């Protein structure tokens, strides 16, 4: 969904306190993208080009295919499995790309050469309309706890790290990412994937990191426990607890991403990891790698699994949110914040409407918002989960 809207926002930077004196309103464009996707290069069940075409045809402006521990730059032949043959993946691939497809047949079956990142980017990227961002899901573990970290706009492959704790492994990975970024002078960033997948990464783990700016507040994979349970916090609660700690430590606040973490492109059900379940909407001056990353690092984006926003306005005095309302769907706009002398993020205001504002109070330290609709998630049949959007936390003077 590419929209021209009025958007005036003083965004977060790499400081914990800012002041604003003049607010400029200017027309901006939202760019829709997914930063967590898998293909035959690791554990996805389709070819990168077919996956990219799905996103291009569903009104996305950028995609990152983030396969496990690879940046898709070597020669690889993929042997078709029985399930692949049942899904007719090769037939669909040839129908879409013809002579571009390379196959070989021997006594063990049919294999297909997977196109490298440079090849599929060269064929399918449109710099004016659709970007294909290089990515890797650096995948490791500690005592069977999964530790998965995506690197957006990575240039050189980063190997999975080993260590004596979850924190040590993540920190080593983050350090390598920043080392590569500084060495090459190319913008890139890490985000922690699905902390509640196998409950591998805890709130305390993320609290103890240095340099982590992003994590998945929502992941559409059915094995990810976004809502937590009696023992583990939801990812949204984790977000608030981590940001209280970061604020007290003088660190930049953690920003929330939504992704679909797609793996399955032929069978669609709530038990499969399908496309279109989570994304980010980035407000950037232009559609380019550097502009998108710059906007996200400034907090100039929101996360969504189905709710679209029309306007977000931040001034010295208030935060105003307007939903792009859909039919007879009802929306609640919930402002949440962390106040002086408090030990928790609390609900500040709740409005059932398509538009709402919150006037900052003197004791507000940071404020964010969650927008909840009463429209069920498209892929959930036996659940009360509905479509939402998440606004990044705003530091208040």
Residues 104 and 122 in one domain: no
Query: Which are the contacts of 38, defined by CB distance < 8 A and separation ≥ 6?
Result: 44, 65, 66, 67, 68, 137, 261, 262, 263
Q: What is the DSSP string of 91-142?
A: HHHHHHHGGG--EEEETTEEEEEPPPHHHHHHHH-BTTTBEEEEEEEEEEEE
The span from the CA of 211 to the CA of 217, in Å, is 18
Residues 267 and 325 in one domain: yes
Query: Which are the contacts of 311, defined by CB distance < 8 A and separation ≥ 6?
Result: 5, 6, 7, 320, 321, 322, 355
The span from the CA of 98 to the CA of 49, in Å, is 12
The span from the CA of 341 to the CA of 248, in Å, is 11
For 90, the domain range is: 77-113
How much is the pLDDT for 311? Answer: 87
Residues 387 and 346 in one domain: yes
- 189: β partners: 152
The span from the CA of 371 to the CA of 332, in Å, is 6
CB-side neighbour CA atoms (13 Å) of 156: 12
Residues 179 and 95 in one domain: no
Residues 98 and 144 in one domain: no
Q: Check if the beta carbon of residue 139 is closer than 8 Å to that of residue 150.
A: no
Residues 390 and 338 in one domain: yes
Token pair recorded at residue 43: 């554990």
How much is the pLDDT for 16? Answer: 32
The span from the CA of 96 to the CA of 307, in Å, is 32
Residue 383 belongs to a domain with what CATH number?
3.20.20.140
Residues 105 and 213 in one domain: no
Residues 93 and 195 in one domain: no
Token pair recorded at residue 79: 């042997």
Q: Check if the beta carbon of residue 45 is closer than 8 Å to that of residue 84.
A: yes
Q: Note down pLDDT in tens along the chain; length 397 residues.
A: 544 333 333 333 333 333 332 233 445 589 999 999 999 999 999 999 999 999 999 999 999 999 999 999 999 999 999 999 999 999 999 999 999 999 999 999 999 999 999 999 999 999 999 999 999 999 999 999 999 999 999 999 999 999 999 999 999 999 999 999 999 999 999 999 999 999 999 999 999 999 999 999 999 999 999 999 999 999 999 999 999 999 999 999 999 999 999 999 999 999 999 999 999 999 998 999 999 999 999 999 999 999 999 989 999 999 999 999 999 999 999 999 999 999 999 999 999 999 999 999 999 999 999 999 999 998 887 678 999 999 999 999 7
Query: Which are the contacts of 389, defined by CB distance < 8 A and separation ≥ 6?
Result: 302, 303, 304, 305, 306, 307, 308, 309, 323, 370, 371
Residues 96 and 204 in one domain: no
- Say whether 381 sits in a helix, a strand or coil: coil
Of 86, 113, 140, which residue is a domain's last?
Answer: 113
Residues 145 and 244 in one domain: yes
The CA distances from residue 354 to 1, 138, 334, 388, 389, in Å, are 18, 39, 11, 13, 13
The span from the CA of 131 to the CA of 153, in Å, is 11
Q: What is the DSSP string of 38-80?
A: --TTTT-SS-HHHHHHHHHTTT-SEEEE--BT--S-S--EEEP
Give the position of tokens 């995948």: 139
The DSSP code for 369 is E
Residues 64 and 81 in one domain: no
The span from the CA of 253 to the CA of 273, in Å, is 29
Number of domains in the chain: 2
Residues 143 and 158 in one domain: yes
């Amino acid at each position: 969904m590419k929209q021209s809207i009025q958007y005036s926002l003083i965004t977060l930077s790499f400081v914990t306190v800012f002041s604003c004196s003049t607010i400029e309103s200017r027309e901006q464009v939202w760019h829709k993208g997914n930063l967590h996707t898998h293909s035959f290069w690791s554990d996805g069940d389709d070819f990168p080009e077919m996956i990219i075409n799905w996103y291009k045809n569903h009104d996305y402006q950028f995609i990152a295919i983030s396969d496990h521990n690879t940046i898709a730059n070597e020669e690889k032949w993929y042997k078709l499995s029985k399930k692949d043959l049942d899904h007719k993946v090769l037939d669909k691939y040839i129908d879409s790309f013809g002579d571009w497809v390379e196959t070989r047949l021997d006594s063990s079956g049919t294999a297909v050469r997977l196109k490298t990142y440079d090849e599929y980017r060269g064929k399918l990227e449109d710099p004016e309309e659709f970007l294909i961002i290089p990515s890797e899901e650096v995948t490791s573990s500690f005592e069977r706890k999964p530790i998965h970290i995506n690197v957006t706009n990575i240039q050189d492959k980063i190997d999975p790290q080993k260590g004596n704790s979850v924190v040590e492994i993540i920190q080593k990975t983050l350090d390598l990412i920043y080392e590569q970024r500084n060495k090459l002078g190319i913008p890139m960033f890490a985000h922690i994937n699905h902390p509640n997948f196998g409950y591998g990464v805890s709130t305390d783990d993320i609290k103890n990191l240095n340099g982590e700016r992003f994590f998945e507040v929502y992941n559409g994979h059915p094995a990810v426990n976004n809502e937590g349970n009696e023992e583990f916090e939801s990812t949204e609660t984790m977000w608030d607890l981590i940001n209280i700690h970061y604020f007290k430590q003088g660190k930049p606040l953690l920003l929330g991403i939504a992704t679909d973490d797609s793996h399955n492109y032929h069978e669609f059900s709530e038990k499969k990891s399908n496309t279109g379940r989570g994304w980010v909407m980035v407000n950037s001056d232009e559609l380019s790698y550097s502009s998108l990353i710059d906007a996200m690092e400034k907090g100039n984006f929101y996360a969504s699994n189905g709710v679209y926003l029309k306007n977000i306005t931040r001034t010295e005095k208030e935060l105003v949110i307007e939903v792009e309302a859909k039919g007879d769907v009802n929306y609640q706009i919930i402002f949440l914040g962390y106040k002086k002398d408090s030990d928790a993020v609390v609900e500040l205001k709740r409005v059932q409407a398509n538009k709402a504002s919150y006037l900052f109070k003197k004791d507000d330290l940071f404020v964010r918002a969650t927008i909840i609709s009463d429209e069920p998630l498209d892929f959930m049949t036996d659940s009360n989960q509905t479509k939402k959007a998440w606004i990044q936390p705003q530091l208040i003077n």
